Structure 1
């Protein structure tokens, strides 16, 4: 009598949907070649094709789509032909990859040469001879945390993080501090900031 061999069930993957070029800027906030560049820079070129493997550019599209319109992950998944769980995992992985490289892109000028170059750029572009950057704080909405949730409620009654950022004369971020709850005033964040220049 022959042994019966049980076959595994064939896994069916959703059909990956392509995006018309005319819709790139509206959906992802970048042109197609910029999305490709971001994918290559932050995720590398992955040639994995087994199963339901996602190419780097599709991972970047999923993350950018979610960040540009943080609605329902299920809807974004249906729009791009992936599951809600894949959207969730992909957004987390892409953001982690970008954050891991943030010190390369976001840095305040600390050396004397960097400070002098920053001052010269402000002088030539805006006639501000001693400026090295601009600073501002903004409130980013969050869900109220279970622990110490009242500390995150700002003066308007919304749960937020009070984020301080600086930019240079090229409008590039030079520092970002996301460690303060919404109830903290901008002046306190500035007093405790590591970016002050003598």
Structure 2
């Protein structure tokens, strides 16, 4: 089983590359946002618990999110692997996820981090803001603040996985295909498959 975490600041192309990885490798997309909405929509015990926190304007506690991830893993025993999106965002979440995966006799295989120069990120997000209608993409100061926030929050998670030799930086500027080729090389290596040229 291959379990990937795709890292990258806002505008680094995570969404685009996740979709391509899922298509090529048949991994299941595990987005904590989607999980929360699904569990709440289905009124599961975890969903109802999450709703209580959200109704008070509070963040859903890590253990509730970990419970939802556990349910998703259990519901897909035949999965080739998962690509984690939006989780873990803190070292505590990374440690909790590692413990859960160990119980399931698996682990995070690699964290692939899309590295994009800040000026390129700002340009991409402002361009996206012209068409996306997202107000957080339209203001350069807000964009810069989001990038700083990303680096502050996720740097410790990167360090956590780097300790285990599971953190790889991927050049994230270039064409979508060039970046995907770099990601594919890393994943092919993990799967022990020959890289088809």
The TM-score by the shorter chain falls in which range? under 0.3
Which is bigger in relative contact order (C-alpha 8 A, separation at least 6)?
A: 2
Greater helix fraction, Structure 1 or Structure 2:
2
- Pick the structure with greater CA Rg: 1
TM-score scaled by length of structure 2: 0.26
